[in-house]
Amino acid sequence: MIELQNAAYNYGGGDMLSEISLKLAPGSFHFLTGPSGAGKSTFLKLCYMELTATAGQVQMFGKDVRGMSRDDIARARRRIGVVHQDCRFLDHLSVRKNVALPLTVSGHDPAQEADNLRELLTWVGLDHRADALPQELSGGERQRAALARAIIMSPDVILADEPTGNVDSEMSQRLLQLLIELNKMGKTVVIATHELALIRMAKSQVNTRVLRIADRRVRLAGADL
Ligand SMILES: Nc1ncnc2c1ncn2[C@@H]1O[C@H](COP(=O)(O)OP(=O)(O)OP(=O)(O)O)[C@@H](O)[C@H]1O
């Protein structure tokens, strides 16, 4: 799915990440952990091609990112759903319209997808909030709306950057359950998080691998988590 070979990234002041070699296999479930500022978001940005590695190789779905045309990149991005750390919405649009935005942007008629949209909002527990405006949502509702928007195009890979950052532990568990369900449907999932409790909870339900970023490297964490 996504493969990095000796990849590095630097923002201009020396390598932020270096010598990263790993594969995110189809259907795998990874956590990405490490101290604040270690480079978790940077790593995810390499995985969804917002950033291009400054050294080494990144392959997406079997193709080297550097050799990809704009169309190839757009196609590959459609296969990746991203839940951003600061999940932003268009404030003047309802939750339903915000969640449907990727459909609208890619030329689909959201009216034709009304049933899917309703089903998705029900699945994340927001059917009763579909007409609300984003600023009327609680933190946990915002995160679930962001997750719904990330998966509306039915991506193969879901990258979630601190999806439980601003919510209580009950809501964290609920979000985690949604991500586990997606993984059970065959989606590849990567979650950046500081919450070890979340990782432990997932480990009891799915086969997870924990990646830890420290000293610019991404390594597989030990089994002691
Ligand atoms: N656009 C940028 N230009 C320069 N430096 C940046 C840029 N974006 C991030 N950085 C720096 O790169 C480092 C890694 O940032 P990143 O956001 O990837 O870390 P993180 O592990 O996700 O942190 P957190 O857990 O706090 O979200 C930080 O020191 C950050 O200040």
Q: Give residue 58's pLDDT.
A: 96
Residue by residue, DSSP assigns 141-198 as HHHHHHHHHHHTT--SEEEEESTTTTS-HHHHHHHHHHHHHHHHTT-EEEEE-S-HHH
State the closest ligand 1 atom to the C-alpha of 192, by its place in the atom list counted from 1: 22
Q: Give residue 106's pLDDT.
A: 82
Q: Give residue 1's pLDDT.
A: 87
Q: Give residue 163's pLDDT.
A: 87
Alpha-carbon separation of residue 11 from 2, 5, 54 (angstroms):
22, 19, 9
Q: 204 CA to middle of ligand 1, Å?
A: 31
d(CA 57, CA 65): 8
Q: 202 CA to middle of ligand 1, Å?
A: 26
Residues within 6 Å of ligand 1 by CB: 11, 16, 34, 36-42
Q: How would you write the pLDDT of the chain (225 residues) with one tens digit per residue?
A: 899 999 999 999 889 999 999 999 999 999 999 999 999 999 999 999 999 999 999 999 999 999 999 999 999 999 999 999 888 999 999 999 999 999 888 888 877 888 889 999 999 999 999 999 999 999 889 999 999 999 999 999 999 999 888 788 888 888 899 899 999 999 999 999 988 889 999 999 999 999 999 999 999 887 555
Is the confidence metric ipTM above 0.85 for this complex? Answer: yes
| All domains in the chain, ordered by first residue | 1-79+155-225 (3.40.50.300), 88-154 (no CATH)
Q: Give residue 224's pLDDT.
A: 53
Residue by residue, DSSP assigns 48-97 as TTSS--SEEEEEETTEEGGG--HHHHHHHHHTEEEE-TT----TTS-HHH
Spell out the residues 6+ positions from residue 145 whose beta carbon is closer than 8 angstroms to its own: 87, 89, 95, 98, 99, 124, 126, 129, 134, 137
State the closest ligand 1 atom to the C-alpha of 12, by its place in the atom list counted from 1: 4
Q: Which of 15, 33, 41, 50 to mutate to test the pocket of ligand 1 (most atoms within 8 A of CB)?
A: 41
Task: Tell me which residue has its CA closest to atom 25 in ligand 1.
Answer: 36
Spell out the residues 6+ positions from residue 143 whose beta carbon is closer than 8 angstroms to its own: 83, 87, 163, 164, 165, 166, 167, 171, 175
